[in-house]
């Protein structure tokens, strides 16, 4: 279990993270989403003791990272795959990490095999690794100590399609065995497939948190009609706010039954009426973070 409580981090008058609270639960993959500069990395850095909080706390299995006697046995961390020592070979990096944690050397070869680095690649210096190979090495390091929690910043970064599929299976498998996975990613399709729970942050504050089903269901209802303006008007008359999208669809937070009833009363034929859930995570993300997007995108 990863718990963040009332976490605030300020830099010289600038608030990067403000009063952020959430939990990532065992047995679940939690996706941590937000536009560039929203505060994801800062929050994750506080979790693993790389940045001190201005106030509030982050704990892993009830303990602050700095208080864990052998942190690698409790939590696997991958924040920046390119931050590994470039002059060392992949194998050397794993050997050093394994010795530091007091693990048998056999773990190193197990991990190299697990992340599908070939023995030749493992003997190559990290400076000559591709981004995807660094990412695999980072995952190997994170899993080395057999932790029950993982904190991963953009783990799919640089992976090829087969690598992304492999990462997905690895993380869902880890969670299905009771592990806690917290991952940040800008690959919304990937998060939509893999995550059970979602935390959305914008401008340093949590803008939404819940299960994926809850958050996507909260997208409301989508209706189409041959006369969408009349439908939007009828909804407005019934006290139901709606938006008329450029593609002629009418969206509202009201449930489908109410929208259907209003259309029937107004004598408007609907050509489509469904939960807007299918709009997907990308639409939800853009609408939730519209105020905090640099591009000012609206859903
Ligand atoms: N050491 C620092 N000094 C000053 N400001 C910082 C520092 N570290 C982060 N920030 C600022 O805090 C804000 C949050 O940054 P953070 O890296 O946490 O965002 P992020 O959500 O991880 O973004 P991205 O998706 O681009 O990785 C940004 O405005 C960033 O410039």
The torsion angles phi and psi of 97, rounded to 5 degrees, stand at -65, -40
Q: Mean pLDDT by 10-residue block, N- to C-terminus, for the chain (299 residues)?
A: 96 93 97 92 95 96 95 94 84 95 94 94 93 93 96 90 91 96 90 93 92 78 93 95 86 91 96 77 78 57
Q: Count CB-CB contacts under 10 A for residue 88.
A: 15
Q: Which atom of ligand 1 is nearest to the CA of 12?
A: 4
Q: What is the pLDDT of residue 278?
A: 54
CA dihedral 113, 116, 118, 123 (to 10 degrees): -80
The reported pTM is 0.81
Beta strands in the chain (DSSP E): 2-11, 14-24, 29-33, 55-60, 75-78, 149-153, 180-184, 197-202, 205-211, 221-225, 242-244, 250-252, 270-275
Q: What is the pLDDT of residue 290?
A: 75
Contact yes or no for 251/221 (Cβ under 8 A): yes
- d(CA 136, CA 156) in angstroms, rounded, equals 9
| 49 in contact with ligand 1, CB cutoff 6 A | no
| 202 in contact with ligand 1, CB cutoff 6 A | no
* Nearest-CA residue for atom 10 of ligand 1: 16
| 37 in contact with ligand 1, CB cutoff 6 A | yes
Q: What is the pLDDT of residue 80?
A: 80
Strand pairing partners for 242? 252
| 292 in contact with ligand 1, CB cutoff 6 A | no
Q: Which atom of ligand 1 is nearest to the CA of 34?
A: 21
Sorted by where each begins, the domain ranges of the chain are: 2-210, 218-292
State the complex-level ipTM: 0.95
* Nearest-CA residue for atom 12 of ligand 1: 16
The CATH number for 2-210, chosen from 3.40.50.300, 3.40.50.2300, 2.70.70.10, 2.60.120.260, is 3.40.50.300
What Å distances lie between residue 131 and 79, 93, 106, 166, 264, CA to CA?
13, 16, 26, 16, 56
**Parallel, antiparallel or unpaired: strands 221-225 and 250-252:** antiparallel
Q: What is the pLDDT of residue 296?
A: 53
CATH of domain 218-292: 3.30.70
Q: What is the pLDDT of residue 294?
A: 62
């Amino acid at each position: 279990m990863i718990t963040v409580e009332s976490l605030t981090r300020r830099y010289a008058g600038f608030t990067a993270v403000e009063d952020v609270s959430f939990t990532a639960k065992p047995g679940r993959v939690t996706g941590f989403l937000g536009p560039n500069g929203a505060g994801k990395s800062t929050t994750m850095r506080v979790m693993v003791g790389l940045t001190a909080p201005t106030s509030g706390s982050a704990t892993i299995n009830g303990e602050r990272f700095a208080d864990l006697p052998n942190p690698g046995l409790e939590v696997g961390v991958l924040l920046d795959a390119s931050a590994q020592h470039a002059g060392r070979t992949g194998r050397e990096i794993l050997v050093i990490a394994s010795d530091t944690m007091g693990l048998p050397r056999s773990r190193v070869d197990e991990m190299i095999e697990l992340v599908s680095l070939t023995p030749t690649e493992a003997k190559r210096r990290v400076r000559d690794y591709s981004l995807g190979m660094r990412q695999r090495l980072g995952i190997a390091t994170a899993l080395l100590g057999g932790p029950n929690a993982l904190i991963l910043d953009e783990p799919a970064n640089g992976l090829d399609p087969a690598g992304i599929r492999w990462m997905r299976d690895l993380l869902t498998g880890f969670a299905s065995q009771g592990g806690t996975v917290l991952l940040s990613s800008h690959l919304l399709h990937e998060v939509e497939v893999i995550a059970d729970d979602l935390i959305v942050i914008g401008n340093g504050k949590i803008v939404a948190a819940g299960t994926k089903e809850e958050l996507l269901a909260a997208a409301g209802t989508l209706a189409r009609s041959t006369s969408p303006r009349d439908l939007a008007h009828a909804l407005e008359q019934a006290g139901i706010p709606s938006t008329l999208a450029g593609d002629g669809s009418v969206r509202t937070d009201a449930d489908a039954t109410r929208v259907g009833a209003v259309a029937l009363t107004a004598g408007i034929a609907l050509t489509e009426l469904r939960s807007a859930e299918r709009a997907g995570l990308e639409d939800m993300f853009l609408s939730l973070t519209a105020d905090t997007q640099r591009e000012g995108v609206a859903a």
